Amino acid sequence: MTVKSTARARKKAAPGVPDTLRAKGTDAQPELVQLLTPEGERVEHPDYPLTTTPEELRALYRDLVLVRRFDGEATALQRQGELGLWASLLGQEAAQVGSGRAMRTGDYAFPTYREHGVAWCRDVDPLNLLGMFRGVNHGGWDPNEKNFHLYTIVIGSQTLHATGYAMGISKDGADDAVIAYFGDGASSQGDVNEAFTFASVYNAPVVFFCQNNQWAISEPTTNQTKIPLYRRASGFGFPGVRVDGNDVLACLAVTRWALDYARSGNGPVLIEAFTYRMGAHTTSDDPTRYRLAEETEAWKAKDPIARLKAHLEKEGLADEEFFASIDAESEQLGLRVREGVRSMPDPDPTLIFDHVYAEPHALVDEERAEYVEYAASFEAGENL
């Protein structure tokens, strides 16, 4: 018998996977919570009811438009050489605004590097977000001022910080909750899985908010997982929900539910916001190398802003004057961001030595003095 035929015989005899255990794949028809269809029709979901006033809907629309505008402005500023890099949130506005607006004042957000829309909802000055990308600092704002932590570049790290912070909330007996943002790529990291374990065993009030934008730079979600991501939660012993990430109302309702669930002592929740990164991963990426234009086109039809606008128009909840006023505000924001970035000064080089430690450190002090003396020697003309 040849080797080949043995292999064939074995293959035939191998037991099949029972249908119930067969992975559905990550891009099988997703079981999404949806409250607003891509055509702008309001639908109900039995588990996540949401009542909204016309003012609230208009406010969400305003958020979406301004966040997109801010993001577009930053992309343009990168192209003009004002920023070294930009990670655009284009397409993910609903996931961020919906979840961001679900938070209460005392809640705390731990972002990755793309959560400009969440920062907006936390009332963080948009200019703060640009310092890092311009290269004038590595973060730069006071996270406790608006309960919005610094951006985190190392994939998944912040999910542990969020969990630890949530453990502290439990210890304090406080009524707050935490939300940790990460991507589908990050879900493969050990830290994210360790965060799930800690959050679960300590019942920490943390909501893990995974924006599955289908790609981790060039790698599709199928490179990270064989089951839909929200189902990971069940293995750790907490609920997981998949929500239409382009539906701001569904993101709002599900996140609000999850935060309340967590703050009531039930432990964590995983939300997978099923969405799409319409632009490049960052301004240095070239998505045409790894994904098809048709895919992007198909997602365009699910645009989060267009569908809310369609709804507002259909239901007569906003008139031309409203849309015009948002456009005007958007222009003003663009101007403010543009001028703000251009007039952002380079830091004094002694920034290098600032805040390395909270308390004095002999080596840092010595090297600072060395640098200051060296720099002064140029001014004095000694080194000419």
Partner 1 sequence: MAGQLTIAKALNDALRKSLENDPKTVLMGEDIGKLGGVFRITDGLQKDFGDSRVIDTPLAESGIMGTAIGLALRGYRPVVEIQFDGFVYPAFDQIVTQLAKMHARALGHVKLPITVRIPYGGGIGAVEHHSESHEAYFAHTAGLRVVTPSGAHDAHWMLRQAIASDDPVIFLEPKRRYWDKGEVGDAADLGLHDARIVRPGTDATLIAYGPMVKVCLEAAAAAEEDGRRLEVVDMRSLSPVDFATLEESVKRTGRAVVVHEAPVFLGMGAELAARLTERCFYHLEAPVLRVGGYYAPYPPSRVEEAFLPDLDRVLDAVDRALAY
Question: Given the rule CB under 6 A, which residues bind ligand TPP?
Answer: 114, 153-155, 183-186, 211, 213, 215-217, 277, 281
78: contact with partner 1 by CB under 8 A: no
Two tokens at 284? 């240095």
Strands 269-274 and 240-244, by their bridges, are parallel
Angle of helix 54-79 relative to helix 93-101, nearest 10 degrees? 130
At closest approach, how far in Å is the CB of 138 from partner 1? 4
- Residue type at position 4: K
Query: How many whole angstroms separate alpha carbon 334 and alpha carbon 97?
Result: 19
Strands 215-216 and 219-220, by their bridges, are antiparallel
Q: Where are the beta strands (DSSP E) in 186-275?
A: 206-212, 215-216, 219-220, 240-244, 269-274
At closest approach, how far in Å is the CB of 376 from partner 1? 22
Query: How many whole angstroms separate alpha carbon 156 and alpha carbon 179?
Result: 13
- Residue type at position 260: D
At closest approach, how far in Å is the CB of 204 from ligand TPP? 21
194-253 residues in contact with partner 1 (CB under 8 A) are 194-195, 197-198, 201
Is residue 215 packed enough to be buried (19+ CB in 10 Å), middle (13-18) or exposed (0-12)?
buried
74: contact with partner 1 by CB under 8 A: no
Binding partner at 184 among partner 1, ligand TPP, none, C-beta below 5 to 8 Å by kind: ligand TPP
Binding partner at 107 among ligand TPP, partner 1, none, C-beta below 5 to 8 Å by kind: none
Query: How many whole angstroms separate alpha carbon 126 and alpha carbon 170?
Result: 31
At closest approach, how far in Å is the CB of 38 from ligand TPP? 22
Query: How many whole angstroms separate alpha carbon 178 and alpha carbon 167?
Result: 10
28: contact with partner 1 by CB under 8 A: no
Query: Residue 294 or residue 359: which is nearer to partner 1 going by CB?
Result: 359
Query: Residue 226 or residue 355: which is nearer to partner 1 going by CB?
Result: 355
Query: Residue 142 or residue 319: which is nearer to partner 1 going by CB?
Result: 142
Query: Residue 356 or residue 376: which is nearer to partner 1 going by CB?
Result: 356
Binding partner at 318 among ligand TPP, partner 1, none, C-beta below 5 to 8 Å by kind: none
**Closest among 98, 77, 97 to 86, alpha carbons compared:** 77
Binding partner at 183 among ligand TPP, partner 1, none, C-beta below 5 to 8 Å by kind: ligand TPP
Q: Mention every residue, 6+ apart, whose C-beta is less than 8 A from residue 349.
A: 371, 375
Query: Residue 9 or residue 201: which is nearer to partner 1 going by CB?
Result: 201
Strands 206-212 and 178-183, by their bridges, are parallel
Is residue 13 packed enough to be buried (19+ CB in 10 Å), middle (13-18) or exposed (0-12)?
exposed
Binding partner at 185 among ligand TPP, partner 1, none, C-beta below 5 to 8 Å by kind: ligand TPP
Query: Residue 131 or residue 185: which is nearer to ligand TPP going by CB?
Result: 185
Two tokens at 306? 């267009």
346: contact with partner 1 by CB under 8 A: no
Binding partner at 155 among partner 1, ligand TPP, none, C-beta below 5 to 8 Å by kind: ligand TPP
At closest approach, how far in Å is the CB of 149 from ligand TPP? 16
Query: Residue 114 or residue 116: which is nearer to ligand TPP going by CB?
Result: 114
112: contact with partner 1 by CB under 8 A: no
Q: Mention every residue, 6+ apart, whose C-beta is less than 8 A from residue 332.
A: none
135-194 residues in contact with partner 1 (CB under 8 A) are 137-145, 149-150, 152, 154, 157, 159-169, 171-172, 190-191, 194
123: contact with partner 1 by CB under 8 A: no
Whether the CB-CB separation of 243 and 32 falls below 8 Å is answered with: yes
Q: Mention every residue, 6+ apart, whose C-beta is less than 8 A from residue 216.
A: 183, 184, 185, 186, 223, 224
Separation in Å, CA 163 to CA 118, 149, 193, 226: 18, 13, 11, 25
For binding to partner 1 (CB under 8 A), which residues are involved? 137-145, 149-150, 152, 154, 157, 159-169, 171-172, 190-191, 194-195, 197-198, 201, 354-359, 361-364
